[in-house]
Amino acid sequence: MNAKCLGFLFVFIGPAYSETYSEELFIKPLATGYVYSFFQFTVIREDDSFKHSTLFPHSLGDIIDRFHVAELNVDLTSGLWRHKSWGYPAVDAPSGAEISARFHNDTQDVDKNWYGLTNALSGLLCTSLNFINSANSYESSSDRVYRYSNLPRENVCTENLTPWKKLLPCDSTRGLSSLLNSGRVHNANYHSLGIHFRPLCLAGKCKYELRQTVSLVYDSVFISFNNNYDWSLRKMFGTGLFKTCPLADYSKIYLDTSSNSSVPYLISQEPDYMLKNNIAVYNLNGIFHLSAIVPRPKIVVSELRPLLYTDRFITGFGQEYGGLVTRIYNDHKSSIIATVIENIPWFLPIYYHTLKVTSNGVRVTPKALIYKPGKGRVRIYYLEIVLELAPRSVTEISVQFDYVFLKWQEYPPDANHGFYIGSAIVKATIPRHATSLTFDKSLIVDNLNSTGSDYLICLKTENFIITLPTPDFSMPYNVICLACTVVALAFGPIHNITTKRLKLTTAKYVPGLASVAQKLYVWLENIFWSKKKNKTGKAAVVKVFVPEELSYHPTLGHVSEEFMKDKVDYIAS
């Protein structure tokens, strides 16, 4: 009861600034047999001092406030968005973690704020964003206060989803977020959690918008059990919708029925109204369920043929030389201007002179090119190329690199798994009708209604792993043994040479295997024939030199002949 009262109290004495919250879900069944669903939870507020808020997550507001963040994008993704069979997503995020931020223009030490921000976010979202340092982040070529980084190795899991859901006003108990059950989310072919914060300024008056997004792609193979392309909310998310979030001003589901033209299908519920003829809109108020019966087409559609898509791979084998190739396919009938940003980690030093840009096999010169060479363990290799992609062409950017030996402590525990190389970014403007869902307006409904002709898309290429020269880590024991043996063998003679003075003495015979036998023989001879021989045995051991042997001495080795002569003369005398 007390808590309720307090709640009321807050509502009344709270700030005059208004905050609005809306929940939206956009579902797009694809002709290729996949279902793309995009959740968007939007909070818009008019104030940027996050001292107090009712809907805006306070923990995040605190971080934004403290580190002078003007704009923030965080995406945690598992799986790879496949443009060829899925088309374009609302938010293109590379596999792993990606974060970019723009700080206020008056920020003094941007780097300090950047590391502070990433560390704070890593705590907030249970991610490894704290591994971001100067060696894996870059600043924009034109913008002093912009920072970007991605961590391709980041595994996105339940531990990220739970804190992410905690940021929502209704948590996961009510509304669309109750559909996000971790078990189901992680069974998707692709899932991406996003936090996007930005100011929306119009004529000097600013609003602040926070959008939390989830992109999920389900394969009909796993959600329908009869070899058809059937889907339903329950099959995808494991549950239907029971309660809407009372805090939301706006709670809707949009269903893109454009694939209906190729495969006609049945939807269980009549939409409340249609938008632009092919988008069915459902207002949510209470228990809701949606399912569709989609027959499998006679001819399987395997590609959606997007206008622009990319392909990136490593060439070469072994660990000597390698090449990095990024291909951009332009299927549009007119040329497109595209910007390609490659950020290559320092352990793949690239050779700038091998950079080659070809279009359909013909070498072309880029319109603009910015290259910032990397530095071992400190800075990435940054390459930004602006290109004009000819109509219906394949443009290929290739560059050669070296494999670097790392220090032994720089290898991860599973060194033989390989090292992750993050994605490149391709930015281009394409006609709006070629994209499925745009992301420039605050609400999905605005984006769907938008009438602009062009739209800036940002494609993220695939990640890959490379095998750096990896020592055999089970080896150290053997190496230690071997090294110790060598040291032990070398120690004796070196110690002898350095600590003792060389002094010439009379020859003393060092017994070898053969001479031992000989000695034995002499000894036995002495025993048996001792009476017959003179007692000069010991003196007889002294060797008398024959002239031919002069330059060579049994123990002293090659000694100058003059010396030997002296010695012999001495002995002889």
Which residues make up the interface to another protein (CB under 8 A)? Answer: 33, 78-80, 82, 84-85, 95-96, 187-189, 219, 221-222, 227, 300, 302, 311, 313-318, 323, 325, 414-418, 420, 462-467, 470, 472, 474, 489-490, 492-494, 496-497, 512-515, 548, 551-558
What whole-number distance in Å separates Cα of residue 165 and Cα of residue 172? 6
Query: Residue with structure tokens 């992750």?
Result: 420
Q: Indicate if the alpha-carbon torsion angle 562, 568, 570, 573 is positive or negative.
A: negative
Query: In the bound complex, what is the minimum distance in angstroms from residue 221's beta carbon to another protein?
Result: 6
Query: In the bound complex, what is the minimum distance in angstroms from residue 95's beta carbon to another protein?
Result: 4
Query: In the bound complex, what is the minimum distance in angstroms from residue 59's beta carbon to another protein?
Result: 29
Q: For the chain, give me the number of helices (H) and strands (E)?
A: 13, 28
> Which two three-digit tokens encode residue 37?
């669903």
Nearer to another protein, 182 or 429 (CB): 182
Asked if 128 and 151 touch (Cβ cutoff 8 Å), the reply is yes
DSSP 127: S
Nearer to another protein, 96 or 374 (CB): 96
> Which two three-digit tokens encode residue 323?
């090449």
Find the helix or strand (DSSP H, E) in which 22 lies. Answer: strand 19-29
Nearer to another protein, 378 or 494 (CB): 494
Nearer to another protein, 295 or 316 (CB): 316
> Which two three-digit tokens encode residue 415?
């060194």
Nearer to another protein, 206 or 486 (CB): 486
Query: In the bound complex, what is the minimum distance in angstroms from residue 296's beta carbon to another protein?
Result: 10
Nearer to another protein, 417 or 533 (CB): 417
Asked if 107 and 113 touch (Cβ cutoff 8 Å), the reply is yes
Nearer to another protein, 302 or 526 (CB): 302
Query: Residue with structure tokens 């798994």?
Result: 417
Query: In the bound complex, what is the minimum distance in angstroms from residue 248's beta carbon to another protein?
Result: 32
Amino acid letter at 256? Answer: D
Rg, C-alpha atoms of the chain: 38
Nearer to another protein, 9 or 541 (CB): 541
Query: In the bound complex, what is the minimum distance in angstroms from residue 558's beta carbon to another protein?
Result: 6
What whole-number distance in Å separates Cα of residue 185 and Cα of residue 163? 15
Nearer to another protein, 323 or 431 (CB): 323
Angle, CA of 301, 307 and 311, to the nearest 5°: 85
- Helix axis angle, 110-125 to 58-66, nearest 10°: 170
What whole-number distance in Å separates Cα of residue 345 and Cα of residue 418? 14
Query: In the bound complex, what is the minimum distance in angstroms from residue 356's beta carbon to another protein?
Result: 13
Contacts of 242 (CB under 8 A, 6+ apart): 178, 286, 287
Q: Nearest to residue 462, comparing CAs of 343, 312, 330?
A: 312
Nearer to another protein, 325 or 386 (CB): 325
Query: In the bound complex, what is the minimum distance in angstroms from residue 203's beta carbon to another protein?
Result: 43
Nearer to another protein, 61 or 96 (CB): 96
Nearer to another protein, 248 or 344 (CB): 344
Query: In the bound complex, what is the minimum distance in angstroms from residue 520's beta carbon to another protein?
Result: 13
What whole-number distance in Å separates Cα of residue 210 and Cα of residue 41? 8
CA 272 to mean position of chain CA atoms:
43
Helix (H, G, I), strand (E, B) or coil at 281: strand
Query: In the bound complex, what is the minimum distance in angstroms from residue 332's beta carbon to another protein?
Result: 17
Longest dimension (CA), the chain: 133
Angle, CA of 89, 92 and 95, to the nearest 5°: 120
Report the residue count for the chain: 573
Query: In the bound complex, what is the minimum distance in angstroms from residue 209's beta carbon to another protein?
Result: 29
Beta bridge partners of 282: 253
Query: In the bound complex, what is the minimum distance in angstroms from residue 148's beta carbon to another protein?
Result: 19
